[in-house]
Amino acid sequence: MSMRSIGLLLLLLVSTLLSGCWDRTEINDMAFILTSAIDLEKDGKIRYTVMLPLPGQMGGATGGGGGGGSGGGKSYYIDSEVGETYRECHMKLQRRMSRRMFLAHRRTILVGEDMARQGIRELFDTVPRSPESRMTTFLVVTNGKAYDMMNSTPKFEHFPSEAIRELIKSKSVMDINFKDFGISLSIPGADPVAVYMDVKNSEKGVESSKEVELKGYAQFRDDKMVGTLENDAAMGLGIIKGQKLISHSITLPMGDGQTMSARIYEALTNINTKLINQKLEYDIALNIKATLVEDTSHYDLSQTKNILLVEDGISKKVKSAVQDVINQSLKNNVDSCEFGNFLWRAYPGEWKSQFEKNWPESLKDAKFNIQVQSHLTDTGLIFDNVTKERISK
């Protein structure tokens, strides 16, 4: 036999060992869940809502309707069910859908505030148990009902889920997914946080729309929501938890009713834990880099003394924001900054014997030394207002 004949014979023999595609699923038989919402009903049951794209409506936006959420025909479909468990609700929905719901493309899970305040630990059984669900899915707590956010009508995106995801991915927001939340639940000396969002009606437009808005972060004690961090406190949390590459715009009062606006684009945080005579202290050192974006005070920023004044203003603003998040955490009796975890790592024996049982109540007796060093790295293309009168010599 020739070498070619032998080769063909071996190929035929090997092919008998190959298995067929016995469980294939055509894409036309699948319904891709974009996001799901979980709410608490008045009777204590769970309302589970899903958003699914409609393939027949997924062409480009038509007729000047803007995004897919407000065009002539919506490019998505929303349905909801009520049950005792998440899986029960899911199966009830599946009974009236001609396609199998597929979870691997889901990037956000919305939880209504009422549900969050009751507790969401059961989610961390349902989501990881399915091989289609991803622990990198973003967890979002909504002000009010989560399904109301699904009915928002953002103008820039075809789907509300895309608007939610893009806002969460921005540099002004900490990257908090299911895995991060679950880790905070399981490690000692830490309480988790989740992104907190709302729906806001657009203003002064020809056509009104319901836009998705970032509010800050929801604070949790164990798995139950107890409060929120908004505005400066939300910024302070991102800085103190080591969100290095950020984008926060801040307004600085410069006296006589004048202000400056700067953008913080980088923050380095170092937290040192100390026990002095069994008294707990935290040295928090922050290194901030910022650029100037607006100046109504007409400072001449070619002068070093004026640059130092601006840097001092940035440092005071950041220190106040960090103090805000500490105060809010103490008020709500939570450890959103995970100070207990720093204590556990530095003094594991003392943590076990002295602090663990009463944490985070023990945090109220701690001393916080906050030091901020700011650097204004850029003033833009100009040092001073271009309309300022110049005196020629």
Structure confidence at residue 393 (pLDDT): 46
Nearest-CA neighbor of 197 among 137, 110, 119?
A: 110
**pLDDT number for residue 9:** 81
Provide the pLDDT for residue 165. 94
- Work out the percent of the chain whose per-residue pLDDT is above 90: 63
Backbone angles phi, psi at 127, to 5 degrees: -65, -50
Distances from the Cα of 245 to the Cα of 126, 169, 174, 176, 376, angstroms:
33, 12, 10, 15, 16
Give pTM, 2 decimals.
0.86
Q: Give the tokens for residue 324.
A: 């805000």
Positive/negative CA dihedral, 224, 230, 236, 241: positive
Look at residue 352 and tell me whether its pLDDT is greater than 90.
yes
pLDDT at residue 61 is higher than 60: no
Tell me the three state secondary structure of residue 346: helix
Range 194-208 average pLDDT: 87
Cβ-based neighbours of 171, under 8 Å, separated by 6 or more = 245, 246, 247
DSSP assigned state of 306: H
In the structure encoding, which two tokens stand for residue 302, read together? Answer: 């070619």
pLDDT at site 141: 97
What is the band of 20 on the pLDDT scale with cuts at 50, 70, 90? Answer: low
Averaged pLDDT, 271-288: 94
Query: What letters, b where the CB count within 10 A reaches 16 and e where it falls short, cover 181-209?
Result: bbebbeebbbbbbbbbbbbeeeeeeeeeb
pLDDT at 347: 95
The Cα-based distances of 124 to 119, 127, 186, 357 in angstroms read: 11, 6, 11, 25
- What's residue 111's pLDDT? 97
Specify the pLDDT at position 5: 80
The tokens describing 202, both together, are 């657009």
Q: How many angstroms separate the CA atoms of 39 and 116, rounded?
A: 8
pLDDT for res 50: 96
Per-residue confidence at 48, pLDDT binned at 50, 70, 90?
very high
Q: What is the mean pLDDT of the chain?
A: 88
Q: What is the average per-residue pLDDT within 198-220?
A: 89
Q: For 113-130, what is each residue's pLDDT tens digit?
A: 999 999 999 988 888 888
Backbone phi, psi, residue 81, to 5°: -145, 160
Residue 82: exposure state from Cβ atoms within 10 A (0-12, 13-18, ≥19):
middle
Residue 292, pLDDT > 80, answer yes
Give the closest residue to 330 by CA, choosing from 344, 317, 340, 318. Answer: 340
CA separation, residue 226 to residues 115, 295, 329, 343, 347 (Å): 12, 39, 10, 23, 28
What distances in angstroms separate CA 304 from CA 113, 229, 252, 309, 310, one per listed residue? 49, 36, 18, 9, 10
- Extents of the domains making up the chain: 26-230, 243-393
Report which of residues 25 and 38 the model is more confident about: 38
Range list of β-strands (E), the chain: 30-32, 35-40, 46-53, 76-83, 100-102, 108-112, 138-142, 193-201, 210-221, 224-230, 245-253, 259-276, 279-295, 367-378
Task: Note the pLDDT of residue 182.
Answer: 92
pLDDT at 22 exceeding the cut of 70: no
Identify the pLDDT of residue 63: 41
Q: Give the model's pLDDT for residue 12.
A: 81
Segment 82-86 shows an average pLDDT of: 93
Please give the residue that has the higher pLDDT: either 128 or 381: 128
In angstroms and rounded to an integer, the radius of gyration of the C-alpha atoms of the chain is 27
Q: Which amino acid is at 108?
A: T
CATH class of 243-393: alpha beta
Give pLDDT, residue 329.
95
Confidence category of residue 27, pLDDT binned at 50, 70, 90: confident
Mean pLDDT along residues 69-84: 78
pLDDT score of 277: 87
Tokens of 307: 């640059």
Predicted local distance difference test score (pLDDT) of residue 71: 40
| C-alpha closest to that of 309 among 384, 256, 374, 248 | 374
Confidence of residue 66 (pLDDT cuts 50, 70, 90): very low
Predicted pLDDT at 389: 63
Cα torsion 159, 71, 62, 79: sign: positive
Residue showing tokens 């601006």? 310
DSSP labels for 237-252? HHHHTT--EEEEEEEE
